Amino acid sequence: MRSAKRAALAAISLLAVLATARAEEAAEARAIGVDEAVRLALEGNLGLGREAIALATAERNSGAALNLIYPSVEAGLSATRSSADLPSEADRWSATGSLSLGLSLSPKLKIQVEQLKQAYRSGLVGYDEAARELELSVRKAFCAVLLDQAKLSLAEQNLERAKKNYEQAKAKYSGGLAPEIDLLTATVSYEAKGPAVESARVALEDDLDAFKLLLGLDPAARIELAGDLDSARSISSQTVAAALAAAPADGGPALRSLRASLEAARLSLRLAKAGLFSPSISASASSRKVMTDLGGARDVAENGSLSLSLTIPLDDLLPSSATRLSIASAEDSVAKLELQLEESLASARSSWASLSRGIGASVASLAAKDRGVELAQKKYDLINEAYQRGLRDIADLDDAASDLNAARAEVVTGEYSLLTAALELESSLGARFGTIGR
C-alpha cells in the first residue's frame, strides 16, 4: 500500500509540474497562425534564401546578355628606357600608347542571348516552385504540431481521469466498499498514464523545434500555434469537385519546371544547329603611337591596322563531325523531355483523381470515427454508472476509458490526415492553399 501511495503522489506531482510549465510557457509564448507561419518561412528560411541568391545571379546574367555582342576594347601605355649611349638621359626614354578594338559576330550570338534570358525564366520557375514547396511543408508541419497538441491534451485528460478513478478506489477501499485489487488496479493505471503524458510532450517539443527551424526562428523562441484540427470539417466532396473543375489543363506547377527544361533543351538544339557550317566574321582595328626624344623635339611615330576575316568550318562536311554529333544529342534530349512531359501530365491527372478519392474516403472515415467516439463515450458513462453502484469493477472502467481515449485519438488523427491530403491536392493543382478546406 505504501508503494501505491508513493506512486500516486509521484503522478500528482508530475501533473502539477506539467501544469505549471504549461502555464509559464503560454504566458511567454508568441501566438502564430498558419498564414503568419508561412510569411515567416518565406522571409527567414535558409533554403529559400539560397534559391533567392541563385535567382538574383540568373537575373544579373540576363540583364547583361548583350555583353556577348559588345566589341572588346583595349588600351595600353608603356615606357621604355634604352641602354644605348645617347647624349642625355631623356633621350634614352620613349613612350608608347596603343588602342585596339575587336568584334566577332556569328549566328550563335542571338541564341546565346536567348539562353541567358531563358535561364532567368527557369530561375523564376525554380524559385516559385521552392517557395510553394516550402509553404506546403510549413502548412503540413503546422498541422503536425496541432496533432501533437491534441494528443498531449488527450493524454493529460486520460491522466486526470485515471487520477479520479484512483481517488475513488482509494476512498472506497478505505470505507471497506472495494477490494484491495481495485485499488491496486487503479494505482497501476494511474502510474502508467504519467509517462504517456511526458512522451506526448517530448514529441510536441521535437516537432516544435523542427517547425521553428523551418520558419527560420531562433530555437529558443517560444511560440504557440493559433489554430486547431477542426478546420478539416470544412472539407467536402463539393470543395474537392470545385477544385478539380478548375484544374489547369497544362498539368499545373508540377510540370512548369519540366517545361522550362524543355525550352532550354530546344534552345540548345538551335544553338547546335546554328554551329553547322556557321560563318564567323571578325573585325579588329588597332592604333599605336611611339614618342621618342622626350627631352627634345619629341618625335612621334604612328601606325595602325584594320583587319576583317571570315571563317567557315569545313569539318562539318564529315557525317560524324563534332557539330553533327552535338546536334543529334540535342535532338535526343528534346525528344526525351517531350515524352517525359507527356508522361508527367498523365501522371499528374491520375494523381489528382487518386488524391480526390482518398479525400472522399477520409471524409467518410472521419464521420465513422465521430460515431465511434459517441459510442465509446456512452459505453464509458454506462460502465462508470455501474461502477458507482458496485456492479462493475475498476478494471472494466479503466478499459472503457482506454477505449474512449483511443477513439478520440483516432478522430484527431483522421482530421490531420484529411487536412494534409487536401494540402497535397491543392499543391498538385496549383490552387491557392485553403481552396479545398481551411
Q: Quick one: pLDDT at residue 381?
A: 92
pLDDT band at 5 (very low <50, low <70, confident <90, very high): very low
pLDDT of residue 194: 86
Q: What is the pLDDT of residue 89?
A: 66
Q: CA 37, 40, 41 angle in degrees (round to 5)?
A: 85
What per-residue confidence (pLDDT) applies to 293? Answer: 62
Lowest mean pLDDT among 105-119, 140-154, 191-205: 105-119
Nearest to 187 by CA among 437, 409, 3, 40: 3
Does residue 315 have a pLDDT over 50?
yes
Q: How confident is the model at residue 329 (pLDDT cuts 50, 70, 90)?
A: very high
Confidence of residue 333 (pLDDT cuts 50, 70, 90): very high
pTM: 0.75
Residue 297 is predicted with a pLDDT of: 54
Over residues 412-437, the mean pLDDT reads 89
* pLDDT at residue 25 greater than cutoff 70: no
Per-residue pLDDT at 97: 81
Q: What is the mean pLDDT of residues 148-161?
A: 91
Instruction: Report pLDDT digits (tens) over 222-243.
Output: 888 988 898 888 888 888 888 8
Query: Has residue 290 got a pLDDT over 90?
Result: no
Whether the pLDDT of residue 129 is over 60: the answer is yes
What pLDDT is stored for residue 253 in this prediction? Answer: 75
C-alpha 6/C-alpha 45 separation (Å) is: 48
Residue 96 confidence class, pLDDT cut points 50, 70, 90: confident
Q: Is the pLDDT of residue 124 over 50?
A: yes
The side-by-side arrangement of strands in the sheet containing 280-292 is 72-81, 93-105, 280-292, 299-311
Between CA 353 and CA 277 the distance in angstroms is: 51
Pairing of strands 30-32, 223-225: parallel
- Position 17 scores a pLDDT of 47
Which pLDDT does position 388 carry in this prediction? 82
Residue for grid cell 552535338: 326
The domains located in the chain, with CATH, are 1-70+108-227 (1.20.1600.10), 71-105+279-312 (2.20.200), 233-277+318-438 (1.20.1600.10)
pLDDT at 202 over 50: yes
The sign one gets for the Cα dihedral 163, 165, 166, 170 is positive
- Distance (Å, whole) CA 277 – CA 191: 86
Kind and range of the H or E element at 436?
none
Amino acid at 132: R
Q: For residues 45-72, give the mean pLDDT.
A: 83
Q: How far apart are the first and last CA of the chain?
A: 52
d(CA 203, CA 214): 17
Give the cell for residue 68. Answer: 556577348
User: pLDDT exceeding 70 applies to what percent of the chain?
Assistant: 89
Q: How far is CA 392 from CA 77, 174, 378, 384, in A?
A: 107, 18, 15, 8
**Which residue is it, cell 604612328?**
302
Instruction: Name the pLDDT band for 299 (thresholds 50, 70, 90).
Output: low
Q: Could you tell me which residues come within 8 angstroms of residue 114 by beta carbon, excluding any fewer than 6 positions away?
A: 267
DSSP string, 264-293: HHHHHHHHHHHTTT--EEEEEEEEEEEEE-
* pLDDT-derived band at 4, boundaries 50, 70, 90: very low
Predicted pLDDT of residue 434:
83
Q: What is the pLDDT of residue 419?
A: 93
- Res. 296 pLDDT band, cuts 50 70 90: low
| pLDDT per position as a tens digit, 351-401 | 888 999 999 999 999 999 999 999 999 999 999 889 888 788 888 888 898
| Mean pLDDT value across the chain | 83
The residue ranking higher by pLDDT, 436 or 69, is 436
User: Is the pLDDT score of 248 beyond 70?
Assistant: yes
